[in-house]
Structure 1
Amino acid sequence: MTETKNVFNNLLKTNRQRLSLFIFALGLYSGFGQEKPQDSTKTEKLDEVLVKAVRVKEKAPITHSNVSKEDIAKRNLGQDIPVLLNFLPSVVTTTDAGAGVGYTGIRVRGVSPQSTNVTINGIPYNDAESLGTFWVNLGDIASSVESLQLQRGVGTSTNGSGAFGASINVLTDAVSKEAYGEISNSLGSFNTRKHTVKFSTGLMNDHFEIAGRLSNIKSDGYIDRASADLKSYFLQGAFVDDNTLIKAIVFGGNEVTYQAWYGIDAETLANDRTFNFAGIYTDDDGNTQFYDNEVDNYSQDHYQLHWNQRYNNNWSTTLGLNYTYGRGYFEQFREDDDFATYGFEELTVNGETVNTTDLIRRRWLDNDFYVVNATANYKDANIDLIFGGSFSHYDGDHFGEVIWAEFASQTDIRDRYYDGNSLKNDLSVFSKANYKLNDKVSLYGDLQVRNVTYKTFGNTSDLVDFEVDKAFTFFNPKAGVTYDLNTNNSFYFSYARANREPNRTDFESNNNIEPEQLNDFELGWRHKKGNFTFNANAYYMLYNQQLVLSGRLDDVGNPIRTNSGESYRFGLELEAIVPVTTQLTLQPNMTLSTNKNKETLVSLNGELVNLGKTDISFSPELVAATAIVYQPMKNFQVALLSKYVGEQYMGNTDNPDSKLDSFFVNDFNVTYTMTFQDIKESKLFLDSIVFTGLVNNIFNEKYVSNGYFGSFDFDDPNSPTGISTGYFSGFYPQATTNFLVGVTLNF
């Protein structure tokens, strides 16, 4: 306890940290919105049943935040889902291009995106091999979200890879009873623009609905050439009656994104923070040039069929089927590459031996992903029991092509210089129940067994044989209790275990890498009186062989992880909604934490050194946010959104060169709705016009939210061991002051 006390005392040292704590003290935020209490006498909506198996209710002993369609709409001007969740508790977000469009990431409690489970309508969305979530493949998916729940910690059993810090489950648009149309356009800094068209037929003959969306988002990015062109669609056909809901959903998109994952070094950050190394080469005259098509070009299509059936007031079932087809490539210009890299044979040109060449290559992914989910639910006045299972199959090809070369050796068009295949099966069965013991005590139990097999064939892009044949069986129990002290106060405690397999990059870097295990303890207090809400949650996350970010990247920008032995995260999360007046509301949240590797062994100057206890990478000790919301009238709202993230290390050795400075960023958001009563000449066809404005980073903070750090050994005759260790680091700067404005026409 003395160590913990010292950590928390140290958190209060800097002026910025005092400012963040002061902001929190002004009034205690629960993220975007609070889950409204459900009336148990009302019949549960069939749309909501679709995600019931992976969500928790308001009083469950699981730490969570709910985000509604209305919450998202206030800032939905083209930025990705992670950026829209930036002000939730314990969340840190980042974007490669610096302005929220393109490749974005989210860390919750310091845990990497690979350890955040994401489902869409209960279907796993994480990439089966990398375990990451690439929101860029689903541009403007935020415009088709009905609601979203973010669970912190292990959370409840879910489909797909297990949650190791958070889970995000998304419910897409519900069936609309009324017909509508929507045209939304926005534009802003860095030539960013979003164009969206949505429609619904409403219920035809009281049973059938067709709805859809087309979107296009473009941005040049804050970073040089970090452009994005995101096209996406969403189409839904539904049949509904009192006890049946059948949905056929097709959605997906194509992204063409100029790469910005190299980052920049400290010197470039100080002198030219928007510089992008991607595509750089030297022409025959010695001039620096940039290849104009150093891009990801990837398409992904999702086909889902959902059948929800209610048999009576006690029994209901769900069946979900999914097929996802993904394909695309990363195109790259390479200067003076060795023939051996591609298996080329040496050439003789004008009597000289040629074994290097300039070339353009494409690294391809072509994959198929199949999912079957099924659940059954029984509930009465005292028990809510769900049991079911999920099976998924992934079949992915990895291959590379040289599409142009100055000296092509013996290759032909479409030749593959590397070729590999991966197969992954994931089977899980679970049973979970909420049991109301009496008027004050409710019990929660959750058991899951998960079996994973992963096989690879062929070779990697480095022409190295890559064969993995692994099988894992995990048992993940969870239990909790909720105690209602009175109508205003409730307390909860939960324990959950999670196990998680390594990803493809982990196996490439270390074929003997081990799965990670987490024991998560959560203790919380929820207080609600009138419009005032206060939540406090303490967590202790104890890891065995946690796969932490080493700070290094592979040659295509994937973060390299390593087992850290025993480690832990211990923290306190506070959030509240404080109505100061009927028009002014304060919504702050804050997380204080300590995140440690218990023992860290590193190679330093040719010797193995034990650094003892060190900080876990990318785990700031203080994260705080607040929203000051002023709503002078029903259809007009302004908000000042503030975010503070404490200093953090990009590696696990506490090396000062790996430190990211703390930052404090403020955004200003305004929304105004003009209803058809205000525009009488248009009321025959127009329901409303919504004006939205967002100014990000209003105080022009020059900050960095992400980066990488690594080490390398080199020969040094002056070193006692003959070897010295050097270090390298890269930084991803985020945009200075920028804006987005939008207009939405609702019919």
Structure 2
Amino acid sequence: MKSNSVKKSVFTVILTLSTASVYFAQQKKDTISRETDIEAVVLTGVADIAKDRKTPVAVSTIKEAQIVERLGNQEFPEILATTPSIYATKGGGGFGDGRMNVRGFDTNNTAVMINGVPVNDMEGGTVYWSNWAGLSDVTSALQVQRGLGSSKLAIASVGGTINVITRAADKKEEKNVSVTVGNNGYLKSMFSYNTGKNAKGWAASFLMSRTAGAMYIDGSDFEGYNYYMALGYQPNKTHDFQFTFTGAPQWHMQNYQSSIATYIKYGNGVDEPNRRYNSNWGYLNGEKMSQSVNYYSKPVMSLNWDWTMSEKSKLSSVLYASWGRGGGTGVLGSINGKNINALPKTADGLIRFDDIYNWNQGVNVADFGAVNKTPGIATRTNGLVRRAHVNSHDWYGFLTNFQHKINQEWNFSVGLDGRYYYGYHPGVITDFWGNREYRENLNMNQQPYYSVTQAYNAAPSANPFAKAIKDKSQIASRNYDGEVMWLGTFGQVEYSNDIISAFVQGSVSEQWFQRIDNWIVDGVTKQQGQVVNTKTGFKDLLGFNVKGGLNYNLDSKNNVFVNAGYYSKQPNNYAVYPNNSQVLNPRLTNEKIASVEAGYGFRSSAFRANVNLYYTTWKDRFTRVSGINIPVTGNGTAINAYANLLGVQEVHMGAEFEGTLKVTDYLDFNGMFSIGDWKYKNNPIGELFDNNNNPLTDVPNATQNQVTLALDGVKVSDAAQTTAALGFTLKPVKPLSIFSTWRYNDNLYGVFNIDNNFIIKPDGTVPNNAKRGALKMPSYNLFDAGLSYAFDLGNAQKLILTGNVYNVFDTVYISDGKSSTHIKDLSDFTATPTQTAQQQYDAYQANLKTWKGIDQNNTVYFGSGRTWAATVSYRF
């Protein structure tokens, strides 16, 4: 977060270029082309990689050359934006804040695997791409299996499975260096070296990179590093060992969604939004300051062993460990009852951190209200400090897979999958903003409060094995842990010949959850009317899956396939112990997923295409909805509440097309089209609680604290249900590659706010807002373009220039809809003693402001405008 970050990066690049006799990338014969079989780059046998015209699943593969050529300064998930049924955006626009959905499912329900090892967080199932920002540097291939996929593990592959295959240690000897520059001061320098395999079977690979600058939005400064070390040893043809250690420590400023009206206010004030606007930042003593900074380091270590036991048998195993360290910042406290986002801002919409600092010290800030009565002392209700919620963990696991070939057509495999995870979730103060202490009052063991005086830097430690918690006496805001254990077994039987391939596989897993609250008084504190303990004790849940598929090659060009499966999936830790409490969910049940899919493929020398149809149901999904304003019977007031939704069901169905056409040796086209129909199917029950976890019983249309919510038919939000792309690659001369892609996204629905307007009345009446469901966002088109040119300098030396421009025409579009405020009609108003419904409607219309046909009160993220990146690579 220092102002000289970019200067430091420039110095690093100059020093590297002037002292290193190294080069970037690989010899042409070793570069993985689009036609190369992905099996050639698989690091270990535990990775379940789909094979063309054999594995009966919907699959798309992106090779290393395409990632290097086209990713530039985009987010890693964005390389998948031209894949059917995948919606990828930059999210809030901060470094590493990109997100993606597969067939309408986010990464909580899409399995992400690196070399066959699952990396979804074991507590919540999430994948934070900022933790994996360096993957683009070391990825040899990226395969997306949509649907249940071919993985034998009992993993969260409801939407699909993303397999990231990293480079192996035994690549040909090479030395690499590259420099990438981009918009907003983006600067990346990268160095790598592969020794190649020597006569004794040893090989090593090393990579280091640094990236710094800012993203498209304002207040998005960042700095990140990536390191990758691999050591391979193949003493003979029987054994192959691969050791890897990689991490990507980073910090970056973040962004929250704002209303369209706010974006326009800080734009031209009429109809042009300021897409760069970020409400989270400002200046403190002349330095950039953000209330929201994410910082994290998640090194991952693995040891892979492939043992070819005989011509028919092979054992593949991996031991792995991960040590996540870091968290995200936010703000504690208020000033005269106002949180930081409600305080007056500058004319440009920036947070006035200097004035916050002064008010905390007792200075009279006129438009902040009354002067601070306790200068220098912050509490939960007086004064502001910046805290970080730490989300660190220790994760250890093993995976082993035995494969045996019975004969030329039959084979089977069996294996074990074990994991242990301990998550640390304390809070710490990262900036006192002029205060000298913060008084914490939520620790029941230290009442009425204790003083926190130490501030921690919101940046990852240089030590990848740093302690998750440093000083327990300085914890603020919260202090709980989560413990998860997992043991699974899996098996598969496969039949395959030149015409037919079929498989049946299944897995069974046991998962144990425990929550540890370090701030309650053991055996005394009550939550939801129950006496609770510091440790809940483990709750175990049994899950399983079974799936099978068949592929039939009609001839050398045509094939068809079908697959089907059923999952009984354990819910995540936050569903087992909901409401951030020690009380076990009394209605805990596994989620049930059933899916069926059919596909057709065509292959010729000039044209390749795949068509897929799918249908997936997801039942008994646990969902917690917060921030609901519920009117309470009697006094007419509203209570801020949350609801636990029971029996939620979704149905996702759709069709997909993906194809490539080689017109000549100099020109080829690629395209895709996908259309989905993703919606809720039933009207679930919602259990209402206030923010103190007490059931709300005095609520209109409620039985006890339960209400029926009108969700049947409501569209699933947060991902475009219709996507299309068309691109070309032109090579007029051998060293030159020119490429461009058009993308189209439609049927993107905003997040709908479940509130009292979704409650079905006792007589069965469904409120208008529920009938309208999720709000459809405007569709949009994007164009990207780029080129690459390789100068042959002789003696196997090459200088490669690559450039990309994204959103060439600077299209203004909404990438993420975060609310669903519909434009009202006359039926939304009822007559009052002073106004008719028509008069109310007319007054509403007079004040209504829209943008592209939607209410400006909707909160959104706008997509980035025109951005660019250029890379210089030197090879010899």
- Interval of TM-score (by shorter of Structure 1 and Structure 2): 0.7 to 0.9
Q: TM-score if structure 1 supplies the norm length? A: 0.82
Q: Distance in 2 between matches of 1:644 and 1:242?
A: 49
Q: What is the CA-CA distance between 1:609 and the residue it aligns to? A: 5.4
Q: What is the CA-CA distance between 1:739 and the residue it aligns to? A: 0.7
2:278 to 276, 298, 309: 276
Q: What is the CA-CA distance between 1:420 and the residue it aligns to? A: 0.8
> Residue 473 in 1 paired to residue 542 in 2?
yes
Q: Distance in 2 between matches of 1:366 and 1:300?
A: 9
Q: Distance in 1 between matches of 2:623 and 2:262?
A: 27
> Residue 690 in 1 paired to residue 800 in 2?
yes
2:186 to 192, 213, 220: 192
Residue 451 of structure 2 aligns to which amino acid in structure 1?
T
> Residue 423 in 1 paired to residue 479 in 2?
no
The aligned counterpart of 2:512 is 453
2:501 to 435, 439, 442: 442
> Residue 127 in 1 paired to residue 121 in 2?
yes
CA 1:365–1:566: 2 relative to 1, 3 Å: closer
Residue 219 of structure 2: SS of its match in structure 1? coil
Aligned 1:267-666 pairs, distance under 5 A? 267-270=261-264, 271=267, 272-279=274-281, 291-292=289-290, 294-334=292-332, 336=334, 349=374, 356-379=382-405, 380-403=407-430, 404=432, 405=435, 408-409=438-439, 410-413=450-453, 414-417=473-476, 418-436=478-496, 439-458=498-517, 469-506=538-575, 507-509=577-579, 511=585, 512=587, 514-546=589-621, 565-600=648-683, 607=701, 610=710, 612-651=712-751, 653=770, 655=772, 658-666=775-783
CA contact (8 A) 1:53 1:386 kept: no
Structure 1, residues 371-399: CA drift from partner, whole Å, max 9, x if none? 11111112342123221111010011100
Q: What is the CA-CA distance between 1:637 and the residue it aligns to? A: 1.1
Q: What is the CA-CA distance between 1:336 and the residue it aligns to? A: 1.9
Q: What is the CA-CA distance between 1:665 and the residue it aligns to? A: 0.7
Residue 660 of structure 1: SS of its match in structure 2? coil
Residue 83 of structure 1: SS of its match in structure 2? helix
Rg larger in structure: 2
CA contact (8 A) 1:230 1:254 kept: yes
Q: What is the CA-CA distance between 1:328 and the residue it aligns to? A: 1.2
The aligned counterpart of 1:23 is none
Structure 1, residues 11-50: CA drift from partner, whole Å, max 9, x if none? xxxxxxxxxxxxxxxxxxxxx9866569xxxxx76x6371
Larger displacement relative to structure 2 (527-536 or 728-737): 728-737
CA contact (8 A) 1:602 1:611 kept: no
The aligned counterpart of 2:369 is none
CA contact (8 A) 2:87 2:719 kept: no
CA contact (8 A) 2:568 2:593 kept: yes
Q: Distance in 2 between matches of 1:456 and 1:335?
A: 27
Q: What is the CA-CA distance between 1:565 and the residue it aligns to? A: 2.6
Q: TM-score if structure 2 supplies the norm length? A: 0.71
Q: What is the CA-CA distance between 1:159 and the residue it aligns to? A: 4.3
Q: What is the CA-CA distance between 1:138 and the residue it aligns to? A: 2.5
Q: Distance in 2 between matches of 1:210 and 1:502?
A: 40
Q: What is the CA-CA distance between 1:153 and the residue it aligns to? A: 0.5
Q: Distance in 2 between matches of 1:611 and 1:133?
A: 27
CA 1:606–1:699: 2 relative to 1, 3 Å: farther
Q: What is the CA-CA distance between 1:493 and the residue it aligns to? A: 0.7
Residue 786 of structure 2: SS of its match in structure 1? strand
Residue 622 of structure 1 aligns to which amino acid in structure 2?
T
> Residue 67 in 1 paired to residue 62 in 2?
yes
> Residue 89 in 1 paired to residue 84 in 2?
yes
CA 1:122–1:655: 2 relative to 1, 3 Å: same
CA contact (8 A) 2:219 2:288 kept: no
CA contact (8 A) 2:502 2:550 kept: yes
> Residue 738 in 1 paired to residue 733 in 2?
no
The aligned counterpart of 1:26 is none
CA contact (8 A) 1:384 1:435 kept: yes
Percent identity between the two aligned chains: 21
Q: Distance in 2 between matches of 1:651 and 1:482?
A: 38
Q: What is the CA-CA distance between 1:522 and the residue it aligns to? A: 0.8
Q: Distance in 2 between matches of 1:691 and 1:561?
A: 54
Larger displacement relative to structure 2 (266-275 or 103-112): 266-275
CA 1:504–1:199: 2 relative to 1, 3 Å: same
The aligned counterpart of 1:676 is 793
Q: Distance in 2 between matches of 1:700 and 1:484?
A: 45
Q: Distance in 2 between matches of 1:383 and 1:68?
A: 30
Q: Distance in 2 between matches of 1:657 and 1:56?
A: 36
Residue 614 of structure 2 aligns to which amino acid in structure 1?
Y
Q: What is the CA-CA distance between 1:591 and the residue it aligns to? A: 0.6
The alignment yields a C-alpha RMSD, in angstroms, of 3.7
Q: What is the CA-CA distance between 1:111 and the residue it aligns to? A: 1.0
The aligned counterpart of 1:157 is 151
Aligned 1:138-157 pairs, distance under 5 A? 138-157=132-151
CA contact (8 A) 1:78 1:193 kept: no
Q: Distance in 1 between matches of 2:709 and 2:291?
A: 44
Q: Distance in 2 between matches of 1:552 and 1:622?
A: 30
Q: What is the CA-CA distance between 1:452 and the residue it aligns to? A: 1.2
CA 1:37–1:120: 2 relative to 1, 3 Å: closer
CA contact (8 A) 1:124 1:159 kept: no
Q: Distance in 2 between matches of 1:416 and 1:146?
A: 42
Which 5+ residue runs of structure 2 have no aligned equivalent? 1-31, 268-273, 340-371, 440-449, 454-472, 629-641, 689-698, 702-707, 753-769, 822-828, 834-854
Structure with the bigger RCO (C-alpha within 8 Å, sep 6+) is 1
CA contact (8 A) 1:124 1:160 kept: no
Q: What is the CA-CA distance between 1:727 and the residue it aligns to? A: 12
CA contact (8 A) 2:254 2:280 kept: yes
Q: What is the CA-CA distance between 1:702 and the residue it aligns to? A: 1.0
Q: Distance in 1 between matches of 2:591 and 2:649?
A: 10
CA 1:656–1:264: 2 relative to 1, 3 Å: farther
Aligned 1:41-80 pairs, distance under 5 A? 48=42, 50-58=44-52, 59-80=54-75
CA 1:561–1:169: 2 relative to 1, 3 Å: farther
Report which of the two has the higher share of strand. 1
Q: Distance in 2 between matches of 1:36 and 1:203?
A: 21
Q: Distance in 1 between matches of 2:798 and 2:60?
A: 29
CA 1:178–1:112: 2 relative to 1, 3 Å: closer
Residue 610 of structure 1: SS of its match in structure 2? coil
> Residue 255 in 1 paired to residue 250 in 2?
yes
Residue 590 of structure 1: SS of its match in structure 2? strand
Q: Distance in 2 between matches of 1:581 and 1:460?
A: 69
Q: What is the CA-CA distance between 1:615 and the residue it aligns to? A: 1.1
Q: Distance in 1 between matches of 2:138 and 2:514?
A: 35
Q: What is the CA-CA distance between 1:499 and the residue it aligns to? A: 3.4
The aligned counterpart of 1:18 is none
Q: What is the CA-CA distance between 1:708 and the residue it aligns to? A: 2.1
CA 1:134–1:477: 2 relative to 1, 3 Å: same
Residue 447 of structure 1 aligns to which amino acid in structure 2?
G
CA contact (8 A) 1:77 1:194 kept: no
